[in-house]
Structure 1
């Protein structure tokens, strides 16, 4: 079996969803990836975030809205995927 490679936008989206929903396991199952892999991404993100300064209120709002948008996009993809399965 070949090793799957995930790009940074996918990793970011997965981490944002896990943060928003509070469950790495649920998001990993939904995305079809290992919860261990998602945990490793989260750990690496934590190390990278330690180097950044705190965000302004506007930046925090932007980040929150970006997370909500990504979650809505994933939900739309999931629903459209289910529609395709039902049609087939």
Structure 2
């Protein structure tokens, strides 16, 4: 109950802090950042794998 009251005061600009909309935006950006990092790691791994497969010096 206290948290709701405090957040309502912040949203009404009576108390400094991050509004509900700002908090949601930050949460969305953090999720997007996490997903992009995971995708980047997958692409790095794939690049290394295919780089080795296509290396002309590599002979099986």
Q: TM-score, normalised by structure 2?
A: 0.57
Q: CA RMSD in A?
A: 0.8
- Which runs of no fewer than 5 residues in structure 2 stay unpaired? 1-15, 52-60
Q: Which has the larger radius of gyration?
A: 2
Post-superposition offset of 1:54: 1.0
- Which runs of no fewer than 5 residues in structure 1 stay unpaired? 1-52
Could you report, residue by residue, the CA deviation over 1:38-72 in whole angstroms, capped at 9, with x for unpaired residues? xxxxxxxxxxxxxxx41011100000000000111
Which of the numbers 45, 65, 70 marks the counterpart of 2:28? 65
Relative CO higher for 1 or 2, CA cutoff 8 Å, sep ≥ 6?
A: 1
Residue-pair matches, total: 36
Q: TM-score, normalised by structure 1?
A: 0.39
Partner of 2:42: 79
